[in-house]
Structure 1
Amino acid sequence: DEFTVGLYQIPTSVFTVDSGIEKCKGYNRHVVYAGNASPAGDYSWDFGGCKVTDTIAVNDFSVSVGAYNYNPFVTLFVEEHGCWSDTTRLPVGAKPVFEMNATKLRGCDSLTVNFYSRLLVDDAVDFFWEFGDGTSSHEASPAHFYADTAFYDVALTITNTITGCQSGFQAADMVKVFPTPVADFSADPSICYGDTIEIEYAHAIDSTLCYWTFERCHELGPVGTESKKQLVIDEPTGLITLKVDEYGCFSPPQNKLVKRRPHFDFATDTLQGCQPFRLEINPVAKDDFLNFTWLKDGMVFPAGTDDFFMYPDSGKFTIGTAVQSTETGCSDTLVKTDWFWVHPKPVSAFNPDYPVATDEHPTITFTNLSERAISYLWDFADGNTTTEDNPQHTYQKIGEYDVLLVAETEYSCKDSSVFQVKIIPFDVFTPNAFRPDSDIEENRTFMPVGLGAGADKFKFLIYDRWGQLVFESYNPEEEWNGTMKNGKPAPMGTYVWIANFFDIQGYEHNPKGQVLLIR
């Protein structure tokens, strides 16, 4: 294989600076390229602000010597065929015959600049100022007003009116008119922020200086930058002020009032209780001018002086509050899930084996029917108590007793029930005579059974002296009124009676005796 390799010489950037033609001495210099690059090369000339007064040929210039108070240099580097030369830098090397200057070259929004030029030797010249905004002046020392913000290149050309020789100088960005900044920053007074807020001056540039002041808020530690801050809002409202300096132009101060959501809490008198549960809620306001509204069971209840809620059912319950500040209009909610626990109430219940007992057998057994309880307290209403589950108690006196059972759960929830028991005397009152036509009602009938006799399995028989059955009854309420079974009045005389019955507690009794029927 064959291939061709091309080699190029490295270009040089050599040039000369000489005095040029004699008549223009002191006005301009002659700059000529003297290197090895061809005219097709890429030449990068920098005349250091000196004006090119004439282009004589390719890379052959007549250049002004500049102004007295500047020190101009001519610089060149060359590129050809992708090869780069070194950079050559030479002074113009002539003492300028004039000086140019200006006062107050920087301003804000608009600016009036007083330009100044002076010949160092007397000569007949024409001054030509170019102010960079499309306007010019032939005055030697003009004043010019810049109405807009920008950077302006200013040039001065001096022409000898006799010889036509020219000199001059051009200063890039000599006049700089900056816009006055607007200190707007990212905080919205209509938003209700949390406890912290990030603010930023979004138009910051390298030269920006931000002067922040904070009232009722403070900076959050060593974070942020000159133009971006993180703040803690200490009170319901905070005042933020920003003033910006850019290139010596100061903005008017910008004030913004920011607001945060209210600070609050709530507390309850307890976190658990027994069914039914009465809960007291106390609002805790950490800011002024707050209105509380309670959130319960999907409903809202304005907070008042007595904030109580009843919970008839057991379980864990969630409660919350919505709060609004009348000062800022900001609101927030706080919900405490499963905040308190309502424990189920036990069911106290029991049965005595004999609600009514006789004084012959005054011992009663109580059956406990309670639910969800683990401990019990019995009060037998006669001064005696017990903690047994299913107690037995013997009463010493006749009377009515309201027996109390208090059932208690493992969470100390209680329920009580009362059952009245009676202790009655067992009396078989047996009169020895009766008269059906007596003026006293109680003496008109005969029944030997009294208190304590049950109605079940009752039998009462009357016999005459010959053993004939005269009367029979199977109900203690059906007494003998002196009439025989055939419906005729029984004759006056002595009769034998026999009774068989069970008392109210199931004990059997078989009393018997005699009774006198009086006519």
Structure 2
Amino acid sequence: LLNPGLNCNDTAFIRVNVFPGVTADFEVEFDTCISDPVIFTDLSVSEAGPDALVAWNWDFGDGNTSDEQNPAHLYQVAGNLNVALEVRDLNNCTGRVEKVIEYFPVPKVVVVAPSEVDACQPATILFDNLSFPIDETYDIRWDFGDGTFGTEISPLHTYEDVGVYTVSLEITSPLGCFTDTVFQDLVTVRPSPTAGFTFTPSTVSNIDPTVTFTDQSQNAVRWEWDFSGLGASTLPNPVFTFPDTGLMQVTQVVFHASGCTDTARALIDVTPEVRYFLPNAFTPNGDGRNDLFFGNGVLKGATDFVLTIWNRYGEKLFETTDPEIGWNGRKNNTGRLAPPGVYVVVVRYRGPRGDRVELRGFVTLIR
């Protein structure tokens, strides 16, 4: 009613529908000790009538849901689970209820998946426990069959000795429910060889790159060698010549009659060695014999080479950056003849790995 008693007034009529209420409820049935499906029975009612409920929305508290009226759900987790039910009737009215279920049964079937069942000594095996529902609140006891035990849900265990092992597992829930399983002859551990070798010489270079390898393995029937990808051998005591310098990884793989293997590795530094020697005399008389003075040796990998020759007055008579070019006894190889006598020789270069080297010596010029 708007502006009652006045000439300008109006009246509006509004119909308000008040629908009957909805009350959500349910009951639960399950075995306390055995992990079977949990049966949920809807007890919800709508005052609109016995068939007025049209929709059910279950949240089982483990990330799973259902829209059935009376679902059965198999839990894969244990715990105090908060279950919620929301119902809706034909008037679109809803009701909601939540209940906590104390769910701590033991697995109906104990399932274990070892990472290996036929392994080589020593055998490190993951026992993946696929049983459900279990968590850290359960009492777990493993017997690995070798005199050792474990309490983790999915333990990692190492068998040191050869043999066939029976594994057992006991599970006790927080409510005291118990189950156990024996896995007869579950794991077989086969014997393994032991790899090992020595080599000579202990210092290897491009001057002497041939290495002799001596097998030190045990219980091996076959050998495979890899020389840093540069060569291979199946001999027990191979000899190999490295074609280049650098850090080389030598790998020996040995095989037992059981098929098990073992691997040994060694790093060998093949050093780029420079050997450069200076003679102490030469005779630049034009007879074609010993007419030039220069050094001899191996300079592979050397850089920044400089050879200089000086007289006793400190005068530089010759310089070259090419180790193949020698001094002919003249100043700068074109000037006046140097008199017979003793001259100072200085050689500088940088080694293949960047180290600076300086050699000093004397050369006697004989005519």
* Structure-2-length-normalised TM-score: 0.41
Bigger radius of gyration: 1
